[in-house]
Amino acid sequence: MMREQTSMTGTLTKRSMKKSKGRNLVAVLAVVMTTMMFTTLFTLAQSMGKNLTQMYLHQSGTSAHATCKDVTDEQYEQIAEHPDVTESGKSIVVGLAENPDLAGRQVEIRYGNDIYARQDFAYPTAGEMPQREDEIALDTLTLERLGIACKLGQQVTLEWRQDIRSEEKTSSTFTLCGFWEGNLSVYASMAWVSEGFALEACKGAGEAADGQVCGLRMMGISFDDTKDIDGKTQKVLADCGCPELDFQTNYAYSDEMRHSIFMENLPMYVGMALVFLAGYLIIFNVFQISVASDIQFYGKLKTLGMTGKQIRKMILGQGSLLSLLGIPAGLVLGYLLGIVLMPVLMSLPDTDAVISANPVIFIGSALFAFMTVMISCLLPARLAGKVSPIEALRYTDVDSGIRRKDKKSEKGASLTGMAWSNLWRNRKRTILVILSLTLGLVLMSFFYAKNASFDMEKYLLELAAADYQIDDATNERVGGYDPNSRTISDGLIRDISALEGLEGTGRLYSREVSMPLSIQACENYQEFYTEEELENYASFDPTFPKWKENFDHVMNGGEAIHTVYGADGMILEAVAGKDYILAGEYDAERFAGGDYVLAIGPSLEAPEEVLPTYSVGEKIQIENREFTVMAVLNPLQPMVEGSHPVFDVPLVMPAKVFTELWPGSNLRKFYFDVDDGNMENAAELLQAYQQTESADMNIVSRKTMEEQYEAETRSKAVMGYSVSIVIALVGILNYINSMVTAIISRKKEFAMIQSVGMTKRQLRRMLAFEGLYYVVLTLLIAYILSTVAVGVIVRALVAGGYATFQFTLMPLVGCTPVLILLAFVIPYICFRKLEKQSVVERLRTAE
Amino acid sequence: MSILSTTHLTKQYGKEPNVVNALNDVNISIEEGEFVAIIGTSGSGKSTLLHMLGGLDRPTSGSVRVDHFELGKLSDEDLTVFRRQRIGFIFQNYNLVPILNVYENITMPIRLDGKKPDRKYIQDILALLGLEKKIYNMPNTLSGGQQQRVAIARALASKPAIILADEPTGNLDSRTSEEVIGLLKVTSKKYGQTIVMITHNPEIAEQAGRCIRIEDGRVYE
């Protein structure tokens, strides 16, 4: 006898699956594509998040959740033993290595326990941490600088000062016991020595003497998770009785960073929503068609005692089985696609793109895809479950709602008329298919137009004011720019000035000055930042609370930090360029006289009545010298880019005046142009300097900007295109499926029409017309919607960005002949298949 | 008490102005163990009445009572469950599920109910209907008479109290018809079932214990 373990519903589910092979193929393909896109987008989102976090962590220099730069041994023990603290790293500072070879790169000689070294991304990958007093572990960057081979057992001599206020240097020689790959995005290199050496160096002192670094104890702690690090740290410190300790929470874990990662990933999430929509449109349609054509089968089952619930379970079961087939393939394909796309997408410097293989990706994508299938099957399942046994016998595959009562036409049956009527036999399905096709087409047009609008010239002007720009190492430092940093040395400027083909230079100094704002300026601020403006500001800038705090402080008469820039040459010309002036007029000659400053306002699209800074004509005292505000400017990125206080008032004065006020100032940025023939020489000069003198010097060249521009457009284009192409493919698949099933399900009807006199040729033409109507309608809607999407949305999106709007519908024009071809080919192929059976045979087939 | 009864049963199809009265104030009562034939011309409302009796369709007004169940008061789900437990249907076009084999078709209503078929009983039925050798056949490999026998077996499988048959012999030749009716009578007697059968065939109607004639939706006994 039969085995009877499986349930009847299960048996029926599986058997009825076997019956509809064509449908299954289409559905599985749809599931594969949906899953593939989900996986790719998930992989990219995860990997982006991982890479960005890694980059932020490297920039902050540690993976510890909170760090303290000055603790006692006793406090360290207490905090380390606190139950909330899962990891604690400890370090004792000895000093800075000051070998001439290391100039420009900070190398810190320290003792660190294993955890601390790991937290600082400085744990030896070869060898081990120092144990004996004459051992040392270094990174490869430092070893290279010192000219020492990366081999254990090498002798390393470092010079350092025990008392940083005296000039007396100590020279210590060690044996290399471990090394690791150095990373330039980490601010300083570590030189690990043993605890014994460190204690010996600071002569056993429990803490550093006033103003000294030798003997400074540093600590990094981590918790279970990164939620509310601030609060957890406060609690630990309070519990340990040392709330006065200055613990810094790691900004890489802050909400701002999370927000920034989220924003980076936003396009991926939008893509997922679109993929879900496309997946829904096709899977729903496939099941709807299949249920509708099998409705009598379901009616029969109901007559024989299957409940609506059991029928629904059967349909959902079929959806699950198809998912089981499609999802694994989609996962694999999607992950592979993710691996291919990731390097294209990541254009971060100094970071190898890491592909995340987090199981969450696969579980998430599988769940998402499965959810899409289930949601898509829900309505068809309800339709099948609701079928009344009697009605099923009469059911024809047309909308039951709006039925025409009569048709006042005496023209008789024309082929085109019949084809048109056939198209609307099932309104919902026709609309669904057209929507599905249109979605992909419109998206393609949208992305294409958006990319085509990207304008290289505008982009470069905004980001690079000169062929070459060099920034001080501390320009982007988290703690703020250090005016004492001397990355751009006089020697370098001399070398650059001696370059052949030099066409122009520009200097930029900067310094922060604290002083109260004038009453007029305060009024300007308050008038500009209306409630509405503040809300708007708060909505997009995560640093808003801090900004608002400082803002209120200044408005109440507190001192405001003024970032005073001293500029000359090409950077001054650029910043005071016509397009950047918001108020007042710039007169180069009078400005050079030294009695004027320029105020920099917020970045605005168009000049406004009131600007939040000093008014033109106002007098300002800086370092006891009086200046008059000449004009208000829009900020120019190449000038203001870099760290600055959350709330600051930027002012620009001539570089000459700046150096008069603050003699001996160091350059923050330097700009120069060379003729095309000497580009190479300039690049070599800068690279050599970077390698030998200052690894942290940032070089911006118009050329690298161009490359970055390309990387940026390419990555976004690849993303956009891959999503829209898959969606368009899904649309086409949907179209093919609908056409094919529409023809096959009318097999009998065609036989009937043929039996009363329609010729094969006529039938074929009628079908071709049907296909054509589909495509023409789709194209009509796609052209209209794309025109709106491109003409309105893209135009609005690219306004103000680095783009010049360009109206184009290229992808749509390209797809038009393909779709029209399909309209003819599909009916033709289907008809060929139908023809194999004679009219009589087709008329007789019962089910 | 009668096992099957209707009171003022009316069924209308369509909407104004095209209302069709398929059944008009039908009052019948059928006792347990009866073999009743329903006769009438096509379009007279025979099938509608049978569908109403079996709970496949809902009345416009009036009620249908089976045992002590008022069918109109059951929800769709409950009605389906009720049907597969209490009523065996036999259709003119057999209504076998093409993707299931003979045995599966026969046991389907029982399995849908989540119960185990009574093998002994089913083997008895199969033997009685001469289907023992066909249990693994798919429906499309059987002749019309064989398919109808499978349908009868399915109707009997859940040991229903009532069997409703809609022209069970309509698609069969006269010899096979004779045979099928004979089998129905034998099994219903053996298992004490009530049979209500629609037929066009006067000879078959004569074999029934009682005849109910329907014309234009009204009953004439």
pLDDT at position A401 over 60: no
C-alpha–C-alpha distance, residues A575 and A634, integer Å: 8
Beta bridge partners of B88: B163
Cα angle A658, A663, A669; round to 5: 55
Domain of B214, CATH number, reads 3.40.50.300
Q: Are the C-beta atoms of residues B180 and B168 closer than 8 Å to each other?
A: yes
Nearest to A300 among B97, B104, B135 (CB): B97
C-alpha–C-alpha distance, residues A64 and A117, integer Å: 10
B138 domain-assigned: no
Min Cα–Cα distance to chain A from B80, Å: 5
Q: Is B89 in contact with A304 (Cβ distance < 8 A)?
A: yes
Instruction: Encode burial over A814-847: b for 16+ CB neighbours within 10 A, e otherwise.
Output: ebbeebeebbeebbeebbeebeeeeeeebeeeee
- State which residues form the domain around B175: 4-96+143-220
CA A704 to chain centre: 20
Q: Read off the pLDDT band of A839 (50, 70, 90).
A: low
Is the minimum CB–CB distance between A149 and chain B shorter than 8 Å? no
Report the helix count and the strand count for chain A, using DSSP H and E: 30, 20
Q: Which residue from A minimizes the CA distance to B55?
A: A303
CA A815 to chain centre: 30
B13 domain-assigned: yes
- Three-state SS at A156: strand
Segment A672-700 shows an average pLDDT of: 83
B56 domain-assigned: yes
- Dihedral of the CA atoms B147, B148, B153, B159 (nearest 10)? 150
Higher-scoring residue by pLDDT: A76, A47:
A76
C-alpha–C-alpha distance, residues A425 and A773, integer Å: 13
pLDDT at position B142 over 70: yes
Q: Which residue from A minimizes the CA distance to B151?
A: A304
Check residue A836 and give left, alpha or beta (phi > 0: left; psi -120 to 50: alpha): alpha
Give the orientation angle of helix A255-293 with respect to helix A308-345, to 10 degrees. Answer: 140
Beta bridge partners of A583: A632
Instruction: Enter the tokens of residue A589.
Output: 């000659």
pLDDT at site A392: 61
Output Rg (C-alpha) for chain A, integer angstroms.
36
Segment B126-145 shows an average pLDDT of: 86
pLDDT at position A769 over 50: yes
Non-local (6+) Cβ contacts of A326 within 8 A are: A27, A28, A29, A30, A31, A32, A34, A35, A369
- Three-state SS at A165: coil
Tally of structural domains, chain B: 1
Q: Is A9 in contact with B84 (Cβ distance < 8 A)?
A: no
Q: Is A8 in contact with B108 (Cβ distance < 8 A)?
A: yes
Task: Give tens-digit pLDDT for B65-74.
Answer: 998 888 888 8
Nearest to A307 among B57, B77, B154 (CB): B77
List C-alpha distances in Å: A174 to A128, A151, A169.
14, 13, 16
Is the minimum CB–CB distance between A309 and chain B shorter than 8 Å? yes
pLDDT at site A397: 47
Q: Read off the pLDDT band of A399 (50, 70, 90).
A: very low
Nearest to A306 among B85, B98, B112 (CB): B112
Instruction: Encode burial over B99-124: b for 16+ CB neighbours within 10 A, e otherwise.
Output: bbbbbbbbbbbbbbbeeebeeeebee
> Quick one: which H or E segment has residue A551?
helix A544-555
List C-alpha distances in Å: B137 to A1, B61, B98.
13, 43, 11
Other CB atoms within 10 Å distance of the CB of residue B203: 11
pLDDT at site B38: 92
Instruction: Enter the tokens of residue A567.
Output: 């500029």
Average the pLDDT over each of A31-45, A628-642, A825-839 and give the range with the smallest value: A825-839
Task: Give tens-digit pLDDT for A633-682.
Answer: 888 888 888 888 888 899 999 999 999 999 888 899 999 988 888 888 88
Q: Read off the pLDDT band of A347 (50, 70, 90).
A: low
Higher-scoring residue by pLDDT: A139, A247:
A139
Instruction: Enter the tokens of residue A592.
Output: 């050079």
C-alpha–C-alpha distance, residues B41 and B220, integer Å: 13
Enter the DSSP assignment of A628: E
Q: Which residue from B minimizes the CA distance to A846?
A: B93
Q: Read off the pLDDT band of A1 (50, 70, 90).
A: very low
Which residues in chain A have Cβ-Cβ distances shorter than 8 Å to B135?
A: 2
pLDDT at site B192: 85
Q: Is B109 in contact with A15 (Cβ distance < 8 A)?
A: no
pLDDT at site A130: 92
pLDDT at position A441 over 60: yes
Q: Is A7 in contact with B95 (Cβ distance < 8 A)?
A: no
List C-alpha distances in Å: A262 to A40, A87, A283, A334, A722.
17, 28, 30, 21, 21
ipTM: 0.73
B170 domain-assigned: yes
Instruction: Encode burial over A527-558: b for 16+ CB neighbours within 10 A, e otherwise.
Output: ebbeeeeeeebeeeebebeebbebbeebeeee
C-alpha–C-alpha distance, residues A460 and A681, integer Å: 22
Average the pLDDT over each of A535-539, B77-81, B212-216 and give the range with the smallest value: A535-539
Q: Is A307 in contact with B119 (Cβ distance < 8 A)?
A: no
Segment A193-198 shows an average pLDDT of: 89
C-alpha–C-alpha distance, residues A463 and A466, integer Å: 9
B117 domain-assigned: no
pTM of the shown model: 0.64
**Residue that has been written with the tokens 């394909």 in this structure:** A333
Instruction: Enter the tokens of residue A527.
Output: 């008038």
List C-alpha distances in Å: B199 to B126, B165, B166, B169.
25, 9, 7, 8
The single-letter code of the amino acid at A409 is S
Non-local (6+) Cβ contacts of A838 within 8 A are: none
Q: Is A304 in contact with B109 (Cβ distance < 8 A)?
A: yes
Q: Read off the pLDDT band of A565 (50, 70, 90).
A: very high
B155 domain-assigned: yes
φ, ψ at B195 (rounded to 5°): -120, 130
Is the minimum CB–CB distance between A11 and chain B shorter than 8 Å? yes
Min Cα–Cα distance to chain A from B112, Å: 6
Handedness of CA B80, B83, B86, B92 (dihedral sign): negative
**Residue that has been written with the tokens 């604690």 in this structure:** A88
Higher-scoring residue by pLDDT: A421, A620:
A620
- Three-state SS at B142: coil
B126 domain-assigned: no
Is the minimum CB–CB distance between A300 and chain B shorter than 8 Å? yes
Segment A214-233 shows an average pLDDT of: 86
Segment A312-325 shows an average pLDDT of: 90
pLDDT at position B203 over 80: yes
**Selection from A29, A533, A33, A11 nearest residue A317 by Cα:** A11
Beta bridge partners of A180: A139
Q: Is A8 in contact with B111 (Cβ distance < 8 A)?
A: yes
B119 domain-assigned: no
Residue to substitute from A302, A307, A405, interface B, most B β-carbons within 10 A: A307
Task: Give tens-digit pLDDT for A442-493.
Answer: 888 888 887 777 777 666 767 777 888 888 888 877 667 888 888 888 888 8
C-alpha–C-alpha distance, residues A740 and A25, integer Å: 13
Report the helix count and the strand count for chain B, using DSSP H and E: 7, 11
pLDDT at site A345: 66
